[in-house]
Amino acid sequence: MTQAVSTSADVQDVPRPTHGASARRPRSRSWVRVVVLVLGAVVFLFPFYYMLIGSLQSEPDTSLAGAFPTGGFTLENYTAINERVDLLRSLINSGIFTGGVILCTIVFGVLTGYALARLHFRGGGTLFAMMLLVQVVPFQLLIIPLYVMIVRSYGLADSYLGMILPFAINSTAVFIFRQFFLQLPEDLFAAARIDGAGELRILWSIALPLVKPALLTAALVTFIGPWNEFLWPFLITKEADLQPLAVSLANYISNIAGRAANPYGAALAGACVLAAPAVALFVAFQKYFKTSDIGSGVKG
């Protein structure tokens, strides 16, 4: 949040050098631009600020002045939510769910992406078309058959495996790997093959080190899904011990919040705990999250 203040101040500084009368038009235009950009940032960030502020106060103050408190911060909301929802256990569950999906996606996504980009094999074109198609068929619309299969037929309710299975390989990540492998020069592969390297060897020691940024980009893109997913783990976990944080927090909000002393405060404290890892990751690795990477391959 401190960064928010300093950077928006930086942005406002931009037009000042053009204060002279000679540069009237560009000045007015860039003022509009800066106002638009800063207004946008405020609209996007204010709820996050309000989440944090609300989680640190014992009495909700919804007045306009109450949005900018100067003191009286407390951590009691965090203690309150932790009594109702085992935060650590839920975070571990979210971590296992997300980690499992990322691991499967990286391992099988790299293999598939490499095959689709660099190898000619029967069915490659069909698989690529399928990969694009499944991104238009929302998984949520298949919850009934998936529920029948995973819960009723395979008895995987209340298990990490059942949670991970429908998400196991992220198709967007496969697409990203394919795009990155496609950008590598063909000469590289031809040379390696002449030297007698096998395809797996080429993939492991030549292609993979060259697409390291893709691993991070794909991991970030994949992270969003399971970490934030609510519907599927909500459907298949009845045991609180297995529920990811998104599910246990949602249960708290819909069941218990009405009876708590400061219902919003505790819910907001839980929300901060759920949001923090995602925010931290995407701030730290922001340069790996660009649609130019996601869409059409390598840059730099």
Partner 1 sequence: MTTATISPSSGGASSRGPRRGVLTTLLGRQPLGIALAAPYAVFLAAVFAYPLGLAAWISFHDYFFTAPGAPVARPFVGLDNYASALSDPGVRRSFFNVLIFLVINVPLTVLLSLLLATALNGAIRGRAFLRVSYYIPYVTASVALVAVWLFLFSKNGFVNELLGPLAPDPSWLVNSKVAMPLIALFVTWKQLGFSILLYLAALQGVPKELYESASMDGAGKFQSLRNVTIPGVRPATTLVVILATITGANLFTEPYLLTNGGGPNGASTSPVFVMYQRGIEQGNPDVAAAIGVVLVIGVLLISLVSKRLLERD
For partner 1, the closer CB: 210 or 234: 234
For partner 1, the closer CB: 75 or 190: 190
Contact 272, 50 (CB under 8 A): no
Angle at 224 between CA 219 and CA 226, to 5 degrees: 95
Rounded distance between C-alpha atoms, residue 87 and residue 78, angstroms: 9
For the bound state, the minimum distance from the C-beta of residue 20 to partner 1, rounded and expressed in Å, comes to: 19
Please list, in sequence order, all residues whose beta carbon lies within 8 angstroms of the beta carbon of residue 37, skipping any fewer than 6 positions away.
11
For partner 1, the closer CB: 36 or 161: 36
For the bound state, the minimum distance from the C-beta of residue 150 to partner 1, rounded and expressed in Å, comes to: 10
For the bound state, the minimum distance from the C-beta of residue 148 to partner 1, rounded and expressed in Å, comes to: 7
Map tokens 């909301």 to a residue: 77
For the bound state, the minimum distance from the C-beta of residue 241 to partner 1, rounded and expressed in Å, comes to: 19
For partner 1, the closer CB: 72 or 295: 295
For partner 1, the closer CB: 210 or 235: 235
Angle at 111 between CA 199 and CA 299, to 5 degrees: 95
For the bound state, the minimum distance from the C-beta of residue 259 to partner 1, rounded and expressed in Å, comes to: 15
For partner 1, the closer CB: 48 or 210: 48
For the bound state, the minimum distance from the C-beta of residue 253 to partner 1, rounded and expressed in Å, comes to: 6
Map tokens 């509009």 to a residue: 32
Q: What are phi and psi of 224, to 5 degrees?
A: -55, -45
Four-point Cα dihedral 242, 246, 250, 256, nearest 10: 60
For the bound state, the minimum distance from the C-beta of residue 158 to partner 1, rounded and expressed in Å, comes to: 15
For partner 1, the closer CB: 3 or 22: 3
* Residue 27 CB-density burial (10 A; 0-12 exposed, 13-18 middle, 19+ buried): middle
Identify which of 108, 128, 132 has the alpha carbon closest to the alpha carbon of residue 120: 128
Rounded distance between C-alpha atoms, residue 19 and residue 17, angstroms: 5
